[in-house]
Amino acid sequence: MKRRLFLILALVCCLAILGSSTAFGAPKKVAWVPSVIGIPFFALESEGFKEAFKDFGYDLIYLGPEKGTPEEETEIINNLIIQKVDGIDLVPTDPEALNTICKKAKDAGIKMIENGSRNMKGNVNISTIIFPPDDVGKILMDMGGNLIKFQGEFAILSAAATSTGQNDWIAGMKKEFADSKYSKMKWVTTAYGDDLREKSYNEAVGLLRSYPNLKLIISPTTVGIAAAAAAVTDAGAVGKVLVTGLGLPSEMAAYIKNGACPVAALWSPIDLGYFNAYVMHNLLTGQITGKAGEKFKAGRLGNYTIAEDGIVFFQRIFKFDKSNIADWENRL
């Protein structure tokens, strides 16, 4: 009798251990695939993934396209399918071009998160949006308008023309721009640097040359804002042309201090990665599926609720200028 009881207890213990994600077997593997590799923002976002995954015992695969093309990203995702990873969190270079490969991954049982955009409904499980696009657009236009006292010419320096997240924010800017308080401002053009440093810098230089009356460049991308501030500084146009947008404090500190970029905004990329890691964990453990109304906890960031179409909003943003750049430049 005692022997039988011992065997039963031993079997129960073994099943409990085998039920964990990492015991006596490979840990779950999750791939974090940004739209282009080598960008500090995405590198910091990976740190947030790592922080959360330590608690879950998951392995993180961090890789992305070198040139930021959908062809490269398609090949990466296809290889991840072959590797039979458990989940993929990607910032799509071109959602339309990536729908087919993402459907293939989802059909293979891989949990899919579209990070930063929302155009792949049905081919991903959840879309994580940093902030409601119209709200981002309002913040960007308000910062820019205040810098030039709501008068004069301005241009936008974006990432890729196919970037859904960037285009959503620019659409939000257009809605805000329709307000009468911007009636004395002129939106001269939108340029695209593809989130490549050299191309973004060259596009900014082109804006300065093409529009001699330009007073402002707004860039909704960390690569673009740094490139624009560098171009303005190098051209000796600090004070004549102002720069604002979404930037990393560590990259923008010098330009905040020299006046090229008096104010910028951002969210913590580390927290964003941590948030996405928790969304993935909740998907992998079946606590959420992507249905509207589902609730989950994202660790130290608190509670979230999934909205319509499988969207969940991160909703954390801050501004930095000369008054607080010292508090942020060594943190992000």
Sequential pLDDT tens for the chain (332 residues): 444 433 333 433 433 333 344 444 689 999 999 999 999 999 999 999 999 999 999 999 999 999 999 999 999 999 999 999 999 999 999 999 999 999 999 999 999 999 988 888 899 999 999 889 999 999 999 999 999 999 999 999 999 999 988 999 999 999 999 999 999 999 999 999 999 999 999 999 999 999 999 999 999 999 999 999 999 999 999 999 999 999 999 999 999 999 999 999 999 999 999 999 999 999 999 999 999 999 999 999 999 999 999 999 998 899 999 999 998 899 88
pLDDT at 124: 96
Question: Helix or strand or coil: residue 318?
Answer: strand
d(CA 230, CA 245): 14
d(CA 144, CA 151): 10
d(CA 226, CA 232): 10
Query: CB atoms < 10 A from the CB of 140, how many?
Result: 25
The residues of the chain that CATH labels 3.40.50.2300 are 26-130+269-316, 133-266
pLDDT at 261: 98
Report the topology of domain 133-266.
Rossmann fold (3.40.50)
pLDDT at 19: 39
The residue among 130, 127, 96, 98 whose CA lies nearest residue 111 is 127
d(CA 86, CA 137): 35
The residue among 13, 225, 34 whose CA lies nearest residue 116 is 34
Q: Is 303 exposed, middle or buried (0-12, 13-18, 19+ CB in 10 A)?
A: exposed
pLDDT at 25: 63
d(CA 298, CA 179): 36
Q: Does domain 26-130+269-316 have CATH number 3.40.50.300?
A: no
Q: Is 237 exposed, middle or buried (0-12, 13-18, 19+ CB in 10 A)?
A: middle
pLDDT at 5: 37
Whole-model pTM: value is 0.81
Please report, as a single letter, which amino acid is at residue 71. Answer: E
